[in-house]
Structure formats: C-alpha cells, structure tokens
Structure 1
C-alpha cells in the first residue's frame, strides 16, 4: 500500500484555513509528493466552520480524508476541536490553538502560518519547501512576518513535544 499522509485543518471563516491548506499542499508538492486538497466552507464568510483536507503521498486518489483517518488534525479555533475530533485517527496527532501563547504573534492574522509551523514539526517535509510555499502563496510584504510566525509555531511545537 502506498504511503499517504492525511491532514485536516479546521477553524472559522476568516482565519485563513484555505490559505493554510494551499501552503501545506504547495510545500508537499515542492517535496515531490502527489497532493489532493478539498475544502468545506459552510457559512465561512460569517465566521462559520471551515475545514480543509490535504492528502499527500506517493499516489493519492481522493482529496477527502475519511472520518477517523486524519494523521493530523490542526485546529485554529478552540471551539472547533470537539466538532472535528472524530476525523482524527486513534493514533493521530491533534495540534490545537493553545500551542501558540497569547500575545506571542506580532499580527494575529498570521496565526494560520504559525500553526503551519507547529504542523511542520510533525510532518517530514523540508523546511525549505515550507518557506518557498509561504513565499509563493503570500504577498512579498508579508514574507518576513510570516517566516517569523512559522518559526514561532515550529519552536512552540518542538518545545511542547507535539506528536512525540
């Protein structure tokens, strides 16, 4: 059976869930994997639930992560943890928003990229692929801020031993 990694990113409309999944998918592509991605927006424009599935590996046939098969559930809003927990595999890793200390970010809008930094600590994708994906998906004026946010999230995950 071919290697496939299943990640679900969840949160609320306006938190950059889709942008975060774009960056993750781009980083996986840059690392040489086959990638499929899907989003569920719901009432996202009004702050409703948003999820995005990203699957990457040797060969990926479907963009949807089946319930109970997410290797990683990355949640940007605490209220979305319980709602999305059934997507997580029994041995899966939950990365919640509490990994980023309140006030740690220079700009709260970069929470999604900080959470990707935390995610990067448990995925075997090269850091260069992540940085290139951030640059490709965000405006140049935001690169430095988001590189700092990514590093902050990665450091927080490593210190917190996420996925260990």
Structure 2
C-alpha cells in the first residue's frame, strides 16, 4: 500500500492530538508502519493545532508535504481555509458541518465523531478503531465515544449515498 496522508486540525482543547493518537494507534493495530507529528502553535490558548498521521507499508517521514493530504479532518470551521492547502487535489475534506452537533451527547466527542467519518475512507478495520479508542480514552468515556464514532460514520455514509 502506498502511504496514506491524513492531517487533523483544529483549535487547542478540541482533541486534535487525541484524535491523531487514536488514528495512529488504529493504523498500527491494522499492521501499518505509522509516523505522526504535531504542531501545537498556541494550543494552550485556543490557537491552531494540527497533527499529521502517515501510514502504509513503509513511511519514511512523519510530515505530510503541502498539497499531499489524502484526508483533511478539521474540528473547527475557522481552521478549514487555513489548512486547505495541505489537501491534495481530489482529497477528502471532513469538517464539523458534516455532523449535527445536537446529535452528539457531548461536544467534546466531536473529534471522535469526525474520526468515525474519516473511517469511511481509510482502510482500517472498525475493530482496530474501537480498540484504539479504548486504549487511548478513559474507560468511563468508551460508550459515549463509541456512539460518537458511529454517529460520524453514519453521517459520512449518508452524505456519500446522497451524492
């Protein structure tokens, strides 16, 4: 498999880094070579945060070159245009507008819901996603995040079938 390039972006406190941890863990569990990098910026003050995750048979660098992201997951609407240059032509943009925020039981699970949406275009089996969530989140958050993941996945599949 060629290398798959994913950029996750948002604001400090939204769970960008946790989402990239879950994605990297899921890809690793699926047997891929995985590299990850983070750009914190002013994350402690609500500033821009992004994380690159690359996986495939052999990954040499953790950084996604500009214009080469296969998937761009953005947790905050204001960060879409800032991060759009990372997306390759024909790449997939997954933003918060995909979801109905009222359908999430906790807005802090938006990052996991958007990973659910991303899971529809990434070659990682669902059991690896769930195992990675369980490994990276406190046990008391498992059910909530499983529901959020399923919601994001369903929203992405519904949008795809409507197109």
TM bin, normalised by shorter chain, reads over 0.9
Name the structure 1 match of 2:149: 150
What per-residue deviation string (whole Å, max 9, x for no partner) do you get for residues 68-123 of structure 1?
A: 00000000000000000000001111111101113110000100000100000111
What per-residue deviation string (whole Å, max 9, x for no partner) do you get for residues 2-25 of structure 1?
A: 610000000000000000000000
1:44, distance to aligned residue in structure 2 (A): 0.4
Match runs of 1:24-43 below 5 Å: 24-43=23-42
What per-residue deviation string (whole Å, max 9, x for no partner) do you get for residues 49-72 of structure 1?
A: 000000000000000000000000
Q: Which runs of 4+ in 1 moved over 4 A?
A: none
Counterpart-to-counterpart distance in 1, 2:152 and 2:92: 16
Name the structure 2 match of 1:104: 103
Which segments of 5 or more consecutive residues in structure 1 lack a partner in the other structure?
none
Counterpart-to-counterpart distance in 1, 2:123 and 2:132: 15
Name the structure 2 match of 1:17: 16
Which segments of 5 or more consecutive residues in structure 2 lack a partner in the other structure?
none
Counterpart-to-counterpart distance in 1, 2:51 and 2:160: 24
Q: Secondary structure at the match of 1:161?
A: helix
**TM-score between both structures, scaled by the size of structure 2:** 0.97
Match runs of 1:1-164 below 5 Å: 3-161=2-160
Q: Secondary structure at the match of 1:124?
A: coil
1:124, distance to aligned residue in structure 2 (A): 1.2
Counterpart-to-counterpart distance in 2, 1:124 and 1:161: 16
Counterpart-to-counterpart distance in 2, 1:31 and 1:130: 9
> Is the CA contact (8 Å cut-off) linking 2:101 and 2:107 kept in structure 1?
no
Question: How many residues matched?
Answer: 162
**TM-score between both structures, scaled by the size of structure 1:** 0.97
Counterpart-to-counterpart distance in 2, 1:13 and 1:68: 23
- Cα root mean square deviation, aligned: 1.1
Q: Secondary structure at the match of 1:131?
A: helix
